[in-house]
Amino acid sequence: MSTPNPEVTIVVAPRERFDVAVASLDSIIEHTDLPYELVYVDGGASKDVRRQLADRCRAHGFTFIEGGAAITPNEARNLGARRTSTPWLVFADNDLLVEPGWLGPLLSCGEETGADAVTPLLFQGSTEAREIHIAGGYMEWSGEAPHRTFTDEHRHQGRRLPDDSLVLQREPCDFVEFHCCLVRRQALDAMGGLDEALRSTREHIDLSLSIAASGGTVWFEPSSWVTYHSPTKIRVADIPYYCRRWSDARTSASLAHFCAKWGVDESYATKYTTKSRRDIVFHPVVEAVRHRAGDRVANLTRRALRSSERAISNLAFSRAEARRRETAQS
């Protein structure tokens, strides 16, 4: 519940879909036992989901913002962050499920270590699976700008708890992820907010590099448990936002900006593709065709759907960019 003078604001932003958005907010309300503010930024949820979210925010004294279906995650995070002034922010995606006592350890870690950002132990899939998504991120760099190269590692990804061979302890790491992370407001303000030129990818790496560039630190706190509820399918109502979020055009623009900003070799961008992400949208249709007409027709169907979706999303991106330029010039 929102209370006077809390130390932290939870800013919830859309990730890629809305089917677990209400359950996600309910988990925060149920399992957060410290004083906090909450700013919820919607990004194109259906009318029913939006109503449920707004009703819960109203009932608990939270701030609810309709960000619009075209809003990007970093735009939503900045919009939410500007509506509060607490010394700490938690950025949480709208498909995050938190567990009892999750917030206190993050704040304690930040205060006790002087960290500018803290990542919890983040699971993926269902809460019951206890499959690790990331237990602190690590990067290795080589070369000089503009041809720097790097690799990033989701430490212990895919391992499951309980695991007696796994030693998890509070320690520094290289990057957080926006599924859930605690960020010191002073650090966020010093970098001028999150970089909105990153429309769909590398936002978390950019935040973490910005913190490191200013002499700050990032820490991993294993006693805070949260779960990224990764999708197995995409509801029809969520397809427009999902495809816009992971469109080739948005991703290419994001990667080009990231490489130029951090002196990363352009070949880095070629390592990433959104094709596999968007295949989840087409999967039910493709499998139905496969069942009726066989593999060859199913593969042709997949290629046709990919091509059509790519053309539509690229056209939408071009129009959105034109509107942005017109707004900036006016």
What DSSP letter does each residue of 215-251 carry, written as one string? T--EEEEEEEEEEE---SS--GGGHHHHHHHT-HHHH
Whether residue 278 lies inside any domain: the answer is: yes
- What local confidence, expressed as pLDDT, does residue 255 receive? 95
Handedness of CA 76, 120, 7, 37 (dihedral sign): positive
Tell me: do 133 and 269 sit in the same domain: no
* One domain for residues 168 and 210: yes
Q: Give me the domain span that covers residue 214.
A: 8-228
| Nearest alpha carbon to residue 80 among 43, 131, 110, 25 | 43
Tokens 């690229």 found at: 314
Residues 242 and 221 in one domain: no
Assess whether pLDDT exceeds 70 at residue 171.
yes
In a domain, 3, yes or no: no
Position 1 in a domain:
no
Decide: 284 and 298 in contact? Cβ < 8 Å: no
Q: Which pLDDT does position 3 carry in this prediction?
A: 53
Same-domain check for residues 182 and 304: no
Verify that 204 and 265 share a domain, yes or no: no
Number of folded domains that form the chain: 2
Q: What's the pLDDT tens digit per position in 26-69? A: 999 999 999 999 999 999 899 999 999 999 999 999 999 999 88
Query: Would 2 be classed as within a structural domain?
Result: no
- The predicted-structure confidence for 302-318, as pLDDT tens digits, reads as follows 888 888 877 877 777 77
Q: What is the mean pLDDT of residues 63-76?
A: 94
pLDDT of residue 321: 72
Domain boundary among 228, 254, 272: 228
Residue 182 falls inside a structural domain:
yes
Instruction: Provide the CATH number for the domain around residue 64.
Output: 3.90.550.10
Q: What is the average pLDDT across 182-199?
A: 97
Contact status, residue 248 vs residue 314, Cβ threshold 8 Å: yes
Q: How much of the chain exceeds pLDDT 90, in percent?
A: 74
pLDDT digits (tens, 9 = 90+) for 113-146: 999 999 999 999 999 999 999 999 999 999 999 9
Average pLDDT over residues 295-301: 89
Q: Is 306 within the bounds of a domain?
A: yes
pLDDT band at 273 (very low <50, low <70, confident <90, very high): low
| pLDDT at residue number 330 | 64
Same domain flag for 254 and 183: no
Same domain, 218 and 100: yes
Q: Where is the domain boundary, 228, 251, 279?
A: 228
Q: Flag whether pLDDT at 150 surpasses 80.
A: yes
Name the pLDDT band for 1 (thresholds 50, 70, 90).
Answer: very low
- The three-class DSSP label of residue 20 is coil
Domain co-membership, 242 together with 144: no
CA dist., res. 288 & res. 269, Å (int): 34
Both 209 and 244 in a single domain? no
Contact assessment for residue 243 and residue 256, using Cβ atoms and an 8 Å cutoff: no
Q: Domain end: 164, 199, 228, which one?
A: 228
DSSP, collapsed to helix, strand or coil, labels residue 65 as strand
Give the pLDDT score at 293.
Answer: 92
DSSP designation for 125:
S
**pLDDT higher than 90, residue 2:** no
pLDDT (tens digit per residue) in 210-248? 999 999 999 999 999 999 998 888 998 998 899 888 888
Instruction: Supply the pLDDT for residue 328.
Output: 63
Same domain? 214 vs 241: no
Interhelix angle 47-60/21-31, nearest 10 degrees:
20
pLDDT of residue 148: 97
Using CA atoms, how far apart are residues 104 and 102, in angstroms rounded to an integer?
A: 6
Lowest mean pLDDT among 138-147, 159-168, 248-257, 315-324: 315-324
Structure tokens at 266: 């352009």
Q: Which residue did the predictor score with more confidence, 44 or 77?
A: 77
CA 247, CA 314: separation in Å to the nearest integer?
A: 7
Dihedral sign for Cα atoms in the order 312, 318, 321, 327: negative
Same domain, 158 and 248: no
Same-domain check for residues 247 and 271: yes
DSSP3 helix / strand / coil % (the chain, rounded to 5) = 45, 20, 35
Does any domain span residue 169?
yes
Q: Is the pLDDT of residue 183 over 70?
A: yes
